[in-house]
Structure 1
Amino acid sequence: MEISAMNACRQVFPESRITTCYFHFAKNIMDKVHRVGLRDYYADRDDTSMYNWIRIFIGSALLPRDLFDERIWPYIERNVPQGRDSAEEVNVRSFATNYIGDYRKNHRKTWDQFDNDGPRTTDHAEGWHNQLRSLFPAVHPQLGLFLKEMRKEVNSQAIRGEELFKGQES
C-alpha cells in the first residue's frame, strides 16, 4: 500500500489497523537484496548464512511482536552475516543497519501479520482486477460498454455475496 493511501486511511479511519501485504513485504526485502548487490551471496549454496538471515527476518512478520522484540530481533542483530569479502561486508553491514534496522524501527507495525485474521496478501484483489481487465480489450473502453460490463460484474458480486451469506457455495 502506498504511503499516501495509508495516511489517508489513518486520517479517515483513525482507529483502523493498516497491515501491508506479506507477499509484497517479502518481495520488497528481496528486491533490496538484489539492488544492493547481495543476490549472489543470498543464493550461495555453500554459505547459507545470508539466505537464512533474510528468511528469518521475513518470517518474523508472522510471529508475535513481543517474541520478535525479545528473541528474534536480538538474534538478527547478533548474527548479521560476515560477507565473503570486504566489499560485500560493507554492503551487508549497510543493508543490515540502514534497511533492516529501519524496517524494524519505522515499519514493524504495518508488516506485522501475527494478529491478522484477514488475508495476508492482496492476491484476491489482484485476481479480481485481472478479471476486470480481461473484460475490456481496449485501454480506454467505450463508456457504454464499460458501464454495461461493470453492471454485470456488480450484480454477479452481489449474488455471490448473498450465496455466501446463506452458506451456499458455488
Structure 2
Amino acid sequence: GTFSVVPELYFQLYTIHTTYLNHILPAVYILLPGKKQRLYKTMLEEIKKLAPDFDPPNVMIDFERASMNAIKNLFPTTNLSGCFFHLCQNVYRAVTRFGLKTLYGENENFAQQIRLLPALAFLPTTDVIATFDEIKAQFPAEVNVRAAKFDIVLWNVNTNTLQGRHRTNNVVEGWNNRFTSLMNCSHPNIWKFLKGLKKEQCYVDAQIIQAEAGVRQARRREQIRRETRILNLLNEPTTTNFEKLMALAQNITLKDS
C-alpha cells in the first residue's frame, strides 16, 4: 500500500499487481480506511464477487500479519511468500533498533555475520535450522534467541530462485514511488486522485500493448551477473551450507529503504 497519495478520508491505496507476459502490472486499486485484518478480508471478498474464479496460486507480500491472515483465510491453497527485500530491510532495522548501526557500518566481520541471517532464505527449508545453529555459534554466548514470528516457508526464497521467479516485490515499491511522483502532492482531493489514477491506467494499458507485442523489460547487467552467481552457488554440490551462506552474504545489501 501507499499512504501519502490518498484523499483525507482514507488511510491507504492498496494495490494488487499481477504478472502478465513477464511484465508486472497493477490490476486492482483499492482505497482503504485502515489496515486491519477484517478490512483486508472484506476487500478480498469484494474482489471474489467481481471475479469468482480468482484463486491465485502464488502471492508475494510484505511481512504484514493482517493481510497475510486475510489472504490465507480466503485462499487457503495459495502459496504465500514474503518479499526478500523487506526481510533484509527488517534485519537492518533490528540492527539499528539494538544500537548496532555504527558497528555494522564500521566492522566488516560483524556486517558479514549479520548478512548471514537473510542469506538463510536461499537454503532449502530443511537445511535452515541446522545452519542457523552454526550461525549462532559465531555470536557471543549471551545473545538471546526469540521464537520465530514467521514460518520458514514464508520467507524462504530457495524455490523461487531456482525456478527463476521473483524474490521481491520491488517493482511494486517502484510503482508506489512513481504514482506518488505523478500525484505530486500529499492527500489530494478525490477528484484529483481519480484523475491521477485514470492517467496511470492509460500508462498501464500502454504497457499491456507493449507486452503483447513482445517487448521485454530490460534487466541491468549487474542484476543478471548477481543472479548467475547466486544460482551457481546454490547448485554447487561440493560446498557446505555454511560455505554457501558466506558467499551468498557477499551478494546481499542491507539498508532501511
Partners of 2:85 and 2:216 in 1: CA distance: 27
How far does the alpha carbon of each residue in 1:125-154 deviate from its partner, in whole angstroms, 9 at most, with x for none? 111111111222332323333223212211
TM-fit CA distance, 1:41: 4.7
- Tell me the secondary structure at the aligned position of residue 138 of structure 1: coil
Q: Cα offset for 1:169?
A: 4.5
Aligned to 1:115: 159
Partner of 2:73: 11
Task: Report the Cα distance in structure 1 between the residues aligned to 2:197 and 2:150, rounded to whole angstroms.
Answer: 40
Alpha-carbon displacement from aligned partner over 1:32-59 (angstroms, at most 9, x marks no partner) = 12322344554553x82x4333222211
Aligned to 1:139: 186
- 1:27 is displaced (CA, Å) by 1.8
Match for residue 73 of structure 1? Answer: 132
Offset of 1:164 from its aligned partner? 0.8
Q: How far 1:67 moved relative to its partner?
A: 3.0
SS at match of 1:19: strand
- What is the aligned partner in structure 1 of residue 174 from structure 2? 127
- Residue in structure 2 matched with residue 33 of structure 1 by the alignment: 95
Aligned partners of 1:161, 1:52: CA distance in 2, in Å?
Answer: 42
User: Using a 3 Å threshold, how does the CA distance of structure 1 residues 153 and 80 change in structure 2: closer, same or farther?
Assistant: same
Indicate which of 130, 143, 151 corresponds to 2:198.
151
State percent identity of aligned pairs.
26
Amino acid at match of 2:151: H
| Match of residue 38 from structure 2 | none
SS of equivalent residue, structure 2 residue 158 = coil
Question: Which range moves more in the overlay, 30-39 or 14-23?
Answer: 30-39
Normalized against structure 1, the TM-score is what? 0.74
Q: Which runs of 5+ in 2 are unaligned?
A: 1-61, 218-257
Cα 1:141–1:14, aligned 2, differ >3 Å: closer, same or farther? same
Alpha-carbon separation, structure 2, partners of 1:141 and 1:60:
43
Q: Does 1:60 align with 2:120?
A: yes
> Using the alignment, how far apart are the partners of 1:40 and 1:156 within structure 2?
43
Q: Secondary structure at the match of 2:181?
A: helix
Unaligned runs of 5+ in 1: 83-88
Over aligned residues, Cα RMSD in angstroms? 2.5
Q: Secondary structure at the match of 2:81?
A: coil
TM-score, scaled to structure 2? 0.52
Per-residue CA shift, 1:56-88, capped at 9, x if unaligned?
A: 221111122123244x223124x2422xxxxxx
CA distance, structure 2, for counterparts of residue 51 and residue 159 of structure 1: 43
1:111-137 CA-partner distances (Å, limit 9, x unpaired):
111112432222211111111112223
2: distance between equivalents of 1:5 and 1:166? 35
Q: 1:145 to 1:32 in 2, by over 3 A?
A: closer
Residue identity in the other structure for 1:75:
E
Greater radius of gyration (CA): 1
